[in-house]
Structure 1
Amino acid sequence: MTNEKIRVAAIDLGTNSFHMIIVEESKGKGIVEIDRVKDMLCIGKGSISTKMLDEEAMLSGIATLRKFLILATHHGVAQENVIAFATSAIREAKNQGDFLRRIREETGIKVKVISGREEAEFIYYGVRNAVKIGEAPDLLFDIGGGSVEFVIADQQGVRLLESRKIGVARMRERFVLSDPIDSGDIKLLEQFFAAEMVSAVNRAAELNVSRAIASSGTAQNIARMIRSVNGLESEVSLNNSAFTRAEFIELYHRVLPLNAVKRRKMTGLDEKRVDLIVPGLILVDMIFRLFNIEEIVISDYALREGMVLHYLRHRLEHEIHEGMIPGQDIRRESVYELGFRCDWNQGHAEQVAGLSLQLYDTLASQHQLEAPYRELLEYASLLHNIGTFISISSHHKHSQYIIMNGELRGFSPSEIEIIGHVARYHRKSPPSEKNMAYSMLKPKHKRAVDVLSGILRLANGLERGHRQNVESIEAEEKGKGITLLLKTRVEPEIEIWAADQLKPWLENVLQKKITIAVL
């Protein structure tokens, strides 16, 4: 990969809204989002039945694209790195050629109309770079205004790509004839959804799909409304968050009996989705029922991000698209990208991480933590010092802040909380109920933070000289004590001195006296 920084603007001309994301990619730091903007102008309004784009809507669309182009130019995006794809409404419009010609003449933007299958493929590229695809097949779905894309994929690749004309704007125009929606309209929608999803449902059953991942504004809006019903903050990243079937059903029964005036007053509902949320809720209900799913995970990445990934990999002439590599570890990649963005000391971070994992493994009989916590310890260790990017003073607190707000991909919100807390407590005061964020953790997560931060503190001490002196660690248990035996390259006087200062918290957590010696 070249050292050159590349800025790209990707524009998605959707049925409900036009979106643009601006990103920068550079070596090591990966893809960093610079800006994003959307305009819900409903280019497909009325065109689903007439197959003709409305003149007023086309003028609004061109005006929006002009603004997008000005913003992209302001952010340093070259004209040749502005990419734009059109989806369902424009794809089906008889006057698409006229609209695309006017866009090109008035803005210089060349819009490519993509097929439903291409749309599903781009969505897959995007989602798999935000949410870790399971070893067992997952159902990915993206609810648009004109179409809904269904993908079934596992870590080895794609098993199904489909696009169905059941988007929320299309369904509202065709089936929602009452407000509040009456039972007859609901029944017609359910029957239509069931007929359109039958092939995806059958394939999912063959592959034993048990989890769904949703991208799109409709799914995110449902997630925010559920958070609001549960009294949780809604203005947070939803990536990798999830809602259950039970949580969804509660929202479903709250919203459907309401008319538009009452829906508009609901906290968490985007004002421009007041009408679209009705077919959206009915569709998600059918997905839960027909695919027999108990939980839906949210992905912040979708079509636009997939467009960017595809474009960058193609532009840089990779032999294969890096964002599509089967088994790609997006969690590790994301952690390393955040480290590079913070100008980390990679050698020190990796040495501390290696020592942390050795301590975790050699003390397994003492802490008895579940296996997934080992991975979180490694990532917390890799990122424990990134707060020095802000300031050496209180850098442990800065590390936690950066981790919590660094948009790590592939992690659930609770996993990011744990990583942040472990990094926060790698020095200075140990975990305390006086810290409100720590006090609000689940009991099992608190204990994990206690153990992992104790291990990280000790590992950090064993790398006090920043000289990668400790090569391996063995443990010997004797009564109420543990002796850690170090294999080192040179005399580890400074490492043992620092570790002795930092070991009390782990001794307290494990209720064991720790002695450090040389093999």
Structure 2
Amino acid sequence: MEKIAIIELDTTKIKLVFADVISNKSFLVYDHVDVPINLMKEFNNENIIKSTIIKDVVCILSVFKKMIDSEGITDVICVTTSKISEAKNQNGFLNEIFSITNLKFNILTPEQEINYIYTAVINSFNKPKALIVSVSNYQTEFLLYNRRNVLNTCVIPYGSINLAEKFEGLSTKEMMDKSKEFVYEQLKQYDWIFNLEEEYEIIGVGDVFLSLGEISRRARKYPLQLEHNYTLSSQDLNKVYDVVSNMEITKNSKIKGVSVDNTRSMPTGLAIISAIVNNGNKTELTISKNGLINGILLNTVIPLTLEKPISDNLGYSLQVLNEFYDKKPNNAEHVYDLSMILFKQLKVLHKLNRSYVRVLRVASYMYACGLRVTNDSPEKISFNIILNSQIYGVSHKELVLAAFTSILRDIDNFNLSDWVKYKDLVNEEDLDAVKKLAVILQIASSLDCTKFGNVIDVSCDILGDSVIMKTITKGEVPLEIRQAKLASVDFKRAYNKNLEIL
């Protein structure tokens, strides 16, 4: 298996990312290191990066280079922000880095940055129409897309740091309110940002959005600690805005759950977000954990994404987890196929809509992942893995339902108090659906308990108070049928029908 390293030199931090790679197929980030810096310290006086800062950067990058070499990685991508291009000594700075560390940095243009961010977002969300907003330190970028076609882009030269510098000396509330007004004035010429059609959503990218999500989840006592695909309302945003605006933010201040560096940029970052959301016609926004680096990885490892997005990001996401985490060979795909056959055959009984197909897909691919950790209660381990995995193309609610579908293959694992923890995401109708899906998964996994793949199809006849399942096979399946029949009691509870399997 190959490996790749990416270094991002930003104005406030240097980030190193390690990823395992299967060329032209998939990658998985397995480690990262963030080191805070202040690259632009006293920069505006002379537009020169100070020698002391250069020394610190070179020192950090020298350590990064040793870490990369120790991993045996030769494929290294180094990028830095377009803000560097404003430095009079940019060439000397980058040449010194190269001469000492042999790391050659590429200065990205704002257009390249937003394109990488678009690649990251479009390949990790099931959102056909959206406005992407990326708030960084010195600029804010916008991209509007419709069904994988980019419609509009724009960049304003104000981000969370230079906006704070512009209104320095004011109280936190005054700074935020004035920043909000200023940003709106900069943007009001772009009607397409504020007058989005009904089907469009807002997706936020960057540290400010991640910090907003962290504060919001804590305030709501949100049951999941997942950053990616977290959705909050404009009311949630305004609550966080009000709390932060009443704080006196200093250079040593820290908001709970947010780093010191991100706390300092939080007030003006929130002002930018508020200017966009509260002056527009949308009442919700969704947060993306994936940004620049993820986009670079996708374009590098899967060159096809340079031409078009991945057609099935949920399938890709499950494939990555299966590729890197599950023991080979495994039967995850076959169990999913059998589950889908049963889902369709029993449609007249369960009456579940197609949104539950994604739930069943995740559960059937990952129901056995707990076995990679322990043979002792693997269902419970699988439950936690599903809940804490970054799986693309599904909502947080669908992840919760998939986790319960997995664990309820054994109904004795069900605890109502566990379900109640997620009451803000699920309802009683979902519980009924999960019980029906869990039985489908139980039967499907049993029909391939040998992992021989001998059961290739199932035909269901619904006769009065009974369901007769006829297996179509390519070999003898006595054990598979014996194991599948053990689901008869649970099937009766979920579907109120007797089950016979032939």
Letter in 2 for 1:223: G
| Stretch of structure 1 that moved more, 385-394 or 282-291 | 385-394
Cα–Cα, structure 1 residues 290 and 263, in superposed 2: closer, same or farther, change >3 Å? farther
Is the contact made by 1:28 and 1:340 (CA closer than 8 Å) also made in structure 2?
Answer: no
Shift of 1:359: 1.4
1:245 corresponds to: 234
1:36 corresponds to: 32
Letter in 1 for 2:238: I
Q: Residues 289-348 of structure 1: CA distance to partner in whole angstroms, max 9, x if unpaired?
A: 2342222212111111222222334xxxx4xx3365245211111101111223445663
Q: Does 1:115 align with 2:109?
A: yes
2:209 corresponds to: 219
Cα–Cα, structure 1 residues 405 and 208, in superposed 2: closer, same or farther, change >3 Å? closer
Q: Residues 163-194 of structure 1: CA distance to partner in whole angstroms, max 9, x if unpaired?
A: 32111111111124312332xx4454234312
Is the contact made by 1:121 and 1:161 (CA closer than 8 Å) also made in structure 2?
Answer: no
Q: Does 1:483 align with 2:468?
A: yes
| Equivalent-residue separation in structure 2 for 1:452 and 1:188 (angstroms) | 52
Letter in 1 for 2:161: A
3-state SS, counterpart of residue 134 of structure 2: strand
Q: Does 1:378 align with 2:361?
A: yes
Shift of 1:353: 1.2
| Equivalent-residue separation in structure 2 for 1:291 and 1:90 (angstroms) | 33
| Equivalent-residue separation in structure 2 for 1:43 and 1:142 (angstroms) | 20
Partner residue of 1:87 out of 70, 75, 81: 81
2:62 corresponds to: 66
Partner residue of 1:106 out of 100, 105, 126: 100
3-state SS, counterpart of residue 195 of structure 2: helix
| Equivalent-residue separation in structure 2 for 1:451 and 1:480 (angstroms) | 17
Shift of 1:430: 4.2
Alignment of 1:272-311 (within 5 A): 272-311=261-300
Partner residue of 1:473 out of 443, 451, 458: 458
Alignment of 1:118-267 (within 5 A): 118-132=112-126, 134-135=127-128, 137-182=129-174, 185-198=175-188, 200-202=190-192, 205=195, 210-232=200-222, 236-260=225-249, 264=253, 266-267=255-256
Q: How many equivalent pairs are there?
A: 499
Task: Please report the TM-score for the alignment, with normalisation by the length of structure 1.
Answer: 0.88
Cα–Cα, structure 1 residues 335 and 159, in superposed 2: closer, same or farther, change >3 Å? same
Shift of 1:485: 3.2
3-state SS, counterpart of residue 278 of structure 2: helix
Is the contact made by 1:431 and 1:438 (CA closer than 8 Å) also made in structure 2?
Answer: no
Shift of 1:48: 4.8
Letter in 2 for 1:502: A
3-state SS, counterpart of residue 84 of structure 1: strand
Letter in 2 for 1:23: A
Is the contact made by 2:194 and 2:276 (CA closer than 8 Å) also made in structure 1?
Answer: no
Partner residue of 1:464 out of 443, 449, 452: 449
Cα–Cα, structure 1 residues 260 and 122, in superposed 2: closer, same or farther, change >3 Å? same
Shift of 1:29: 7.5
Give the RMSD, CA atoms, in angstroms.
2.7
Cα–Cα, structure 1 residues 355 and 233, in superposed 2: closer, same or farther, change >3 Å? closer
3-state SS, counterpart of residue 173 of structure 2: coil
Cα–Cα, structure 1 residues 396 and 181, in superposed 2: closer, same or farther, change >3 Å? closer
Cα–Cα, structure 1 residues 415 and 489, in superposed 2: closer, same or farther, change >3 Å? same
Q: Does 1:312 align with 2:312?
A: no
Partner residue of 1:57 out of 49, 53, 64: 53
Is the contact made by 1:457 and 1:503 (CA closer than 8 Å) also made in structure 2?
Answer: no
2:372 corresponds to: 389
| Equivalent-residue separation in structure 2 for 1:240 and 1:366 (angstroms) | 32
Is the contact made by 1:116 and 1:162 (CA closer than 8 Å) also made in structure 2?
Answer: no
| Equivalent-residue separation in structure 2 for 1:410 and 1:63 (angstroms) | 40
Identical-pair percentage: 20
Q: Residues 479-506 of structure 1: CA distance to partner in whole angstroms, max 9, x if unpaired?
A: 3332223333445433332221123212
Q: Residues 231-270 of structure 1: CA distance to partner in whole angstroms, max 9, x if unpaired?
A: 3478x33111121111111111111022126993542232
Shift of 1:199: 5.3
Cα–Cα, structure 1 residues 401 and 190, in superposed 2: closer, same or farther, change >3 Å? closer
Alignment of 1:294-443 (within 5 A): 294-313=283-302, 318=303, 321-322=304-305, 325-326=308-309, 328-344=311-327, 348-426=331-409, 428-433=410-415, 436=418, 440=422, 442-443=426-427
| Equivalent-residue separation in structure 2 for 1:212 and 1:302 (angstroms) | 15
